[in-house]
Structure 1
Amino acid sequence: MVDIGYTMMTEQAGPRDLLRHVLAAEDAGFDFSVTSDHFSPWLSEQGHAPYAWAVLGAAAQATSRIPLMTYVTCPTTRYHPAVVAQKAATLQLLSQGRFRLGLGSGENLNEHVVGGGWPAPAVRLEKLEESVGIIRALFAGEELTHRGRHFEVDRARLWDLPDTPVPIGIAVSGPASCAVAGRTADLAIATEPRGELLDAFDRAGGSGKPRVGQLPVCYDPDRSAAVTRAHQQFRWFAGGWRVNAELPHPVSFAGATELVSPEDVAKSIPCGDDVPEFVEAVRPFAEAGFTEVALVQIGGDHQDAFFTWAREKLLPALRAAL
């Protein structure tokens, strides 16, 4: 069986609404939740980008059952890895063991804001792997002094640690990131149902570990309205991560997706209220070997009806089929 999760999409709702959404997701019966961590939305139409870690702290206190996870945090530029380790350990204590730390090599959109330029993909992966080593050493309770290729740490120690270290997930999109994840992560994270990514993760040491996917969906009883909304807010998704990671500003995403049509978006994102269509959209993740899939309901103002529909129809259908 594949666990079905809910995405707190920080790009499409403010902090108070996000908290209300994750409470509703817990009540609706979702198995877990994930949270995006952005400084900017991909498109100005989305309209939001609150600080994900403050939202997660509130969610840890407000919820009682649903697991929490970053999807994903970049621990190399906007945040120093020692600070990420401290934040994650604190979240694990607040949530009483319900937190997982999802990490990735980042997007120019969010990381350029602190200056210093945007490195090449190979350098970003080097920085990510070094940061994971720092985070794990701090999770182990060490007083850490580190002089690495990309980072320095001077006598850092985490004074509040959970009994069990926070599980670390790494986002994968190609052979190099799969190798890093297999060597260093407790789980793999991906946004595409590509079995070859998981095979590469397994070969690098990830065999038997969880793997979490994500799928945008757009529920609305009016399919035309759903397609329009998905195109307005999620047409950036058509670019793929190799392109999306390089673009620096919502204006860049608007220009890059100018020729993406509503019909193009509807081909990759299930829209409307046809339960079998949504089930079939999730199925490729299950067939590829993903153990968990987090759904993104597109539209910050269109969550409440989605939760009712998911509880009554979608979640039972997914659990019966997968």
Structure 2
Amino acid sequence: MVRFGYTLMTEQAGPRELVRFAAEAERAGFDFEVMSDHYFPWLDEQGHAPNAWSVLGAVTQATQRVDLMTYVTCPIMRYHPAVVAQQAATVQLLSDNRFTLGLGAGENLNEHVIGRGWPPVNIRHEMLAEAIQVIGALFDGGYVNYSGKHFRVDSAKIWDQPDLRVPVATAVSGAQSVERFAPLSDAMIAVEPRAELCQGWDAVRHGESAKIGQLPVSWDPDRGTAVRRAHEQFRWFAGGWKVNAELPGPAGFAAATQFVTEDDVAENIPCGPDVAPMVAAAKPFWEAGFTHLALVQIGGEHQDGFFEFARDRLLPALNEAAN
């Protein structure tokens, strides 16, 4: 059974609005909610970047049913993995065991702020593997000492442990990252509906586990308005993740996407008031083997109408098509 979620985009709304959106998304019938964890928006037009963990704490109290997840937190520079483990355990307690810790190797956009430079991707993957080991050891309980190539931990302990261990989901993009992170993780995260990722992940883990994808949409009663908004706020996607992970700030994304047109965006993101294009865009995910799909409604000021649309039309259509 495929579950459908809602994305709390910290890049396009402030903290109070995100907490309200979380409650509205639950009422609309979404199964789960994921939250981005950024220090910067991709583009100046998005205009926001509140602290995800503070907002998550509030979201746990504004919701009752939906599962929650970071999508994703980078535990290799801006956060030390020992701090991430403590944050995750606390959110698990506050949410009554509804939380999954989504992790990834990060983006220069968010990690450059600490002034340590930006390592190449192979080093970032080494760091992420170590970080997951540290986090897992802390979730196991007791005092943890760790001395690795990239991280050290000196007698750390999580004092407030949830009764359900926090599941860890890790972002992957190819066979190499699947091989490295599937043995260390409970679930897979990917943004492209590629069957080989799902098949490879389950093969390494010797069984099926959750695979969580994400799909941007731009709903609006007027298609032209939806396309313009998607171009204004989401044209950053055009470079692909290999490029996007390296750019240092919104000015870089603006320069890299200056020649992306509204037509380019409309070809890749379903825009407008119709259900059918959104279902068609989502279909490759469940056909590839994804078990969860989180939708992004583009535009922080255009969520309320989307919730009504999702409740009455989109979610019923998605569930009928997928399940």
Q: Give the alignment's TM-score, normalised by structure 2.
A: 0.98
Percent sequence identity over aligned pairs: 61
Residue 89 of structure 2 corresponds to 89
SS at match of 2:106: coil
CA drift at 1:202: 2.2
**Conserved 8 A contact 1:183-1:206:** no
Counterpart CA distance in 2 for 1:220 and 1:181 is: 38
Residue 203 of structure 2 corresponds to 203
CA drift at 1:207: 3.1
Code of the residue aligned with 1:124 in structure 2: it is: R
Establish whether residue 179 from structure 1 lines up as the match of residue 179 from structure 2.
yes
The correspondence of residues 1-322 of structure 1 with structure 2, limited to 5 A, is 1-205=1-205, 207-322=207-322
CA drift at 1:101: 0.1
SS at match of 1:7: strand
Please list the CA deviations of residues 86-132 of structure 1 after superposition, one character each: whole Å capped at 9, or x if unmatched.
00000000000000000000000000100111001010000000000
SS at match of 2:22: helix
Counterpart CA distance in 1 for 2:75 and 2:298 is: 27
**Conserved 8 A contact 2:11-2:49:** yes
**Conserved 8 A contact 1:186-1:206:** no
**Conserved 8 A contact 2:22-2:62:** no
SS at match of 1:59: helix
SS at match of 1:97: coil
**Conserved 8 A contact 1:181-1:206:** no
Code of the residue aligned with 2:232 in structure 1: it is: Q
RMSD (CA atoms): 0.8
Code of the residue aligned with 1:245 in structure 2: it is: A
Counterpart CA distance in 2 for 1:182 and 1:269 is: 29
Q: Which runs of 5+ in 2 are unaligned?
A: none
SS at match of 1:101: strand
Please list the CA deviations of residues 123-181 of structure 1 after superposition, one character each: whole Å capped at 9, or x if unmatched.
00000000001000000102011111000000000000011110000001112211122
Code of the residue aligned with 2:279 in structure 1: it is: V
**Conserved 8 A contact 1:12-1:299:** yes
SS at match of 1:56: helix
Code of the residue aligned with 1:293 in structure 2: it is: L
Counterpart CA distance in 2 for 1:17 and 1:114 is: 27
Code of the residue aligned with 1:107 in structure 2: it is: E
Residue 206 and residue 30 in structure 1: after superposition, are their counterparts in 2 closer, same or farther (change >3 A)? Answer: farther
Q: Which runs of 5+ in 1 are unaligned?
A: none
Counterpart CA distance in 2 for 1:280 and 1:313 is: 14
Counterpart CA distance in 2 for 1:164 and 1:274 is: 40
Residue 206 and residue 271 in structure 1: after superposition, are their counterparts in 2 closer, same or farther (change >3 A)? Answer: farther
In the alignment of these two chains, the number of paired residues is 322
Counterpart CA distance in 1 for 2:206 and 2:13 is: 34
Counterpart CA distance in 1 for 2:32 and 2:157 is: 30
